Structure 1
Amino acid sequence: MDRLARILIVAGGLAAVAWCGVGFAYRLLLVSLPVAVTDSGSVEAAAVVTPSSQGGEVDVAVILDRDMFRSAAPVAKAPKRPERRDIGLRLLGTVLGADPASSRAIILEERTRRQGLYQIGDRIAGAVVVNILARKVVLRLGERLVELQVDNAPAPSPVAPPPGPATSAAAGLSAGTEVISVSRHRVSNAIKMAGRILGSLKVTPYEENGVPQGLRISGLKVGSFLHQMGLRNRDVILEVNGEPLTGMEAAAQLFAKYRDSDEATVTVLRRGERKQIHYRIRR
């Protein structure tokens, strides 16, 4: 029993000595602080902190301000900026919706020559679409952000509003125009499946004397929606309601413009001859 008491006394004494030593070192640290440099660049003596005469309390505000123990919150890192690099993808155009969720990007996978319509969250060639903007799209590839832009071609002229009730797309139809009637419900379903439809097609620019004139389609399957809408393989789509189709971005803008119209006329070049197909959308 005496031995246990001695051990406890020795342990208590060591604890008291350690406590006093730490307290003395802490106060010694506070007694003298180095000079501080002000925002204006002048040097001033730092405030001397001494123990209070009442209760032995010390002011630790200076230590906290100087962050001597590295306790301040870390500075937030600036967000990563997308980089431009070749990842085997090519942006053909974008369609901006009323909100980001309804925006779409037309992207070509150069290795397979497959193109599709993508929205935010979709994956393509190991990358994920994170943002769709006018004429550019941001992808996440691993830890990197990659930006794709439409080729440096002149942006298509802004399209005018669709014709009102007093103006009809059927006005001025030439003789021999093919007229196709289709329900709005079927058109809406086709729009929802646009990514799959585009993925099965091959669309290439068509030029005459180096000037873009339209888009040539191939890979069209017999019985598919577009085949039933009167289009054929090797057709070159030249115009929609008289507005030229100079590229994929122009096609995307015209699609966004006329998707809710009740009628539209498409002009195609088929085996060297111009042909019109007029669509009437039933409610």
Structure 2
Amino acid sequence: MELFFRKYFWTVNLVFILLVAWMVARTANLFVESKIAPEASTEPAARTPQRVKEAERLASLELEALSRLTGIKIPEPEPVVQEPTAATPTYDDNAEPVKSGLRVKLLGTLVASDKNWSFASVQDMVTQRSQTYMVGDRIQGAEVTDIQRERVIVINNSRKEFIDGQPGDGSTPAPAFTPPPVAAATPAPNSGLGTGIRATSENEYEVPRGEIDKTLANLNEVAMQARIVPAFKDGQAQGFKLFSIRPDSIYSKIGVQNGDVIRRINGFDLNSPEKALEVYSKLKESSRIEIEIERNGTPIRKTYNVR
């Protein structure tokens, strides 16, 4: 037995050495990992976009409820006008190309199965220099869109043309695409709201009682004179933000500007339909109206003395 242990004792030493090496490597790995791992943030997690969208959806429902209670129609969102992009052709791609007036002549082509690897040799008749072109290159401002055996297709001034072995006459084509005329915006009806309001200082105004009554009687017109959307901060409603204010509107006459957030009226927070309805019901009896506005992050208080 003793002879057996002497004979195979080297295997025990080998296992022991491997075990020690593994423990050292594991310890070094844990040390390095602790140094390079990012520190755990102690700040509260930011609100996710889903929670913000949910808050906006609830605010929209609250606006609908307020509209039903007061009879005020919610202004329709303005249609989004999508400007043409570079990927949107401003010509008829199916139209047959016409002879180009460019002063160039096609000398020859090398057509590949993939048109992006085709080549065309074109001579400038003014400088008498020839140059090789591929799809996407420009010849005197015209973009090469296809290279065929005996002609090159280009888009010149929004018109589909071809270049062949005969030089063009140098004529400049008229644009083939004419943008549709933009219909003039229909001006909002104006019943003269706010004509009697007078500014006595930068943030203080005198308002005749008749202006209050006239404004409350024309709430639909008031809603059309600006766009009003709920303002959120950290997913919570903070008031209402105004933009697209018409120059001759009631909002301009009371000193409200684009981007202003109306947060309170007479001390009432405008963060729910119930609060807005409460303000609406008390405006008729108020002889002094104060609104708190946030403009570019700065609070502003405006006062209106009703007489």
Interval of TM-score (by shorter of Structure 1 and Structure 2): 0.3 to 0.5
Richer in helix (by share): 2
TM-score, normalised via structure 1 length: 0.40
TM-score, normalised via structure 2 length: 0.37
